[in-house]
């Protein structure tokens, strides 16, 4: 059996030839234009980034190395008797493009456990935060503190050839992924559970051990955690967390610093923080109505109140998707199978019915359908994680898998420093009038 690193090394040569061909022979071919509204409006659909890790179709949703979410759930290795794919297997797939065997997947689990010892100073940094600090603030600081272990930074300093960049980037990636669950679990236990930490159980898989360290040992929650950490991992390269990681990495900032930048982007309410906002919106509504499940009329009125006050309905809409997010549907299917009678699931299902209609009538959003963040909170609450301001940390642990796989490949293929051209509004007006 070859290791993930060996397999990756085999793939890099042919990919370098492909990128070289694209650059040297087809480099002048125009693939995208940019209008004034695109320049002002967040560069929607301007094709100017490259990633082979995942691709997002507006109607079909995300495909990881060509596999849809249902295919991923069916094809990737699981624990014996398990119903959901292992994130370790997804890492292998994202890195190499190949579905790993169970043996290859287990080799990643073992490697991650081997590298999991968190340096003491990282714990001290986390312990120094006041308890009212947001979990994402602690998480970003934890990742930055971990940076003292970066092999990429050391080897770059010592003088490393460009073709070798991917090697320490790969090593850093594995170390980060190995230690992130403990950083994240520590934040949870410190902030909400009186700093009563739980030691790792290395007989478990990566996600199972993460759930165990958080202190939610229900087997179904472990199963949910595997699914959760798979589906949130990547969403092609242009979303804020992936793009920020890539942008910072293009300056050859090491994987730790680049990931910290991406996670800071994930902490925005229009991006990953939407999962906490959904639960906050629902909890506020329940408190205001004094009921667990409001009537359809109450729910519809609450949606209109939110829209009329100029706020967004969290968990609905998307910059690219024009259909219900398959990541939402995967979680809905999980809920239908495991918690069909849960009152919060019933409320989330009512939102699924009513919110798209209200948003369509409101007439602004290009996509009235729910995204991944509309569902995750109700599953987590069911298994005992009610502290919704923590949810984006879980998203961040998962997102690290995708953005760091991209980081490794960007270094392997020598992708350049990002430096798009900005223009002034004077220039735009002159262009428009000329």
- Are residues 296 and 304 in contact, defined by beta-carbon separation less than 8 angstroms? no
Select the residue interacting with ligand AMX from 107, 371, 392, 410 (CB under 6 A): 371
Select the residue interacting with ligand AMX from 314, 356, 377, 396 (CB under 6 A): 314
The interface region with ligand AMX, picked from 250-258, 293-301, 345-353, 370-378 by CB under 6 A, is: 370-378
Nearest distance in Å: CB 367, ligand AMX: 6
- Tell whether residue 313 is a contact of ligand AMX (CB under 6 A): yes
Beta carbon nearer to ligand AMX, 87 or 315: 315
Q: Pick from 261, 373, 404, 405: which binds ligand AMX (CB under 6 A)?
A: 373
Q: How far is the CB of 371 from ligand AMX (least distance, A)?
A: 4
Q: Tell me how crowded residue 69 is: count the other CB atoms within 10 A of its CB.
A: 24
Q: Which residues pair with 62 in a beta bridge?
A: 56
User: Binders of ligand AMX: how many residues, by CB under 6 A?
Assistant: 21
DSSP secondary structure string for all residues of 178-245: HHHHHHHHHHHHHHHSTT------TTS-HHHHHHHHHT---HHHHHHHHHHHHHTS---S-SHHHHHH
Neighbours of 374 (CB within 10 A): 28
Give residue number: closest CB to ligand AMX.
317
Nearer to ligand AMX, 243 or 271 (CB): 271
Q: What gap in Å lies between CA 258 and CA 137, rounded to an integer?
A: 15
- CB under 6 A: which stretch of 30-38, 61-69, 198-206, 360-368 binds ligand AMX? 360-368
- Concerning whether 157 is annotated as a catalytic residue, the answer is no
Report how far residue 75's alpha carbon sits from residue 386's, in angstroms, rounded to the nearest whole number. Answer: 32
- Measure the CA–CA gap between 115 and 257, rounded to whole angstroms: 19
Q: Give catalytic status of residue 373 as yes or no.
A: yes
Cα-trace Rg, the chain: 22
- Measured from the CB atom, the residue of 61 and 314 that comes closer to ligand AMX is 314
From 8-16, 196-204, 265-273, 279-287, span contacting ligand AMX (CB under 6 A): 265-273
Task: Return the residue matching tokens 């165990």.
Answer: 212
Decide: 1 and 104 in contact? Cβ < 8 Å: yes
- Give least dist CB 74 to ligand AMX, A: 24
Residue 318 appears among annotated catalytic residues: yes
Question: From CA 8, how far away is CA 225, in angstroms rounded?
Answer: 27
Half-sphere exposure for 252 (CA within 13 Å, toward CB): 18
Q: Which of 113, 318, 375, 382 is catalytic?
A: 318
Contact letters (x/-) for ligand AMX, 315-334, by CB under 6 A?
A: xxxxx---------------
Residues with catalytic roles: 271, 318, 373
Q: Which residues bind ligand AMX (CB under 6 A)?
A: 239, 270-272, 274, 307, 312-319, 364-367, 371-373
């Amino acid at each position: 059996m070859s290791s993930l690193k060996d397999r990756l090394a085999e793939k890099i040569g042919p990919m370098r030839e492909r990128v070289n061909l694209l650059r040297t022979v087809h480099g002048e071919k125009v693939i995208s234009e940019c209008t004034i509204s695109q320049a002002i409006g967040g560069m929607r659909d301007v094709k100017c980034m490259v990633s082979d890790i995942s691709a997002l179709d507006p109607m079909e949703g995300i495909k990881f190395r060509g596999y849809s979410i249902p295919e991923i759930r069916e094809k990737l290795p699981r624990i014996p008797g398990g119903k959901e794919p292992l994130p370790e297997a997804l890492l292998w797939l994202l890195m190499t493009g190949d579905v790993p065997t169970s043996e290859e997947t287990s080799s990643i689990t073992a490697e991650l456990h081997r590298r999991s010892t968190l340096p003491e100073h990282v714990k001290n940094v986390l312990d120094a935060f006041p308890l009212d600090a947001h979990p994402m603030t602690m998480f970003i600081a934890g990742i930055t503190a971990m940076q003292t272990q970066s092999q990429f930074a050391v080897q770059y300093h010592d003088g490393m050839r460009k073709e070798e960049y991917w090697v320490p980037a790969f090593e850093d990636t594995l170390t980060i992924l190995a230690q992130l669950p403990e950083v994240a679990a520590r934040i949870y236990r410190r902030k909400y559970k009186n700093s009563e930490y739980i030691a790792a159980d290395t007989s478990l898989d990566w996600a199972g051990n993460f759930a165990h360290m958080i202190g939610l040992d229900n087997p179904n929650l472990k199963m949910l955690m595997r699914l959760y950490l798979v589906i949130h991992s990547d969403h092609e390269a242009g979303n804020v967390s992936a793009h920020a990681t890539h942008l910072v990495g293009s300056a050859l900032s090491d994987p730790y610093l680049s990931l910290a930048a991406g996670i800071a982007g994930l902490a925005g309410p229009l991006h990953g923080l939407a999962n906490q906002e959904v639960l906050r919106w629902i909890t506020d509504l329940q408190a205001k109505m004094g009921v667990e499940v409001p009537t359809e009329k109450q729910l519809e009125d609450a949606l209109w109140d939110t829209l009329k006050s100029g706020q967004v309905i969290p968990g609905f809409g998307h910059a690219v998707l024009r259909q219900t997010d398959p990541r939402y549907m995967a979680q809905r299917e999980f809920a239908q199978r495991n918690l069909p009678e849960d009152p919060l699931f019933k409320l989330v299902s009512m939102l699924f019915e009513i919110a798209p209609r209200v948003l369509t009538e409101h007439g602004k959003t290009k996509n009235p359908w729910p995204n991944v963040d509309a569902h995750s909170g109700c599953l987590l609450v069911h298994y005992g994680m009610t502290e919704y301001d923590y949810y984006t940390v879980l998203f961040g642990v998962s997102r690290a898998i995708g953005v760091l796989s991209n980081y490794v490949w960007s270094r392997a293929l020598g992708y350049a420093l990002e430096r798009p051209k900005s223009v002034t509004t004077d220039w735009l007006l002159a262009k428009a009038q000329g």
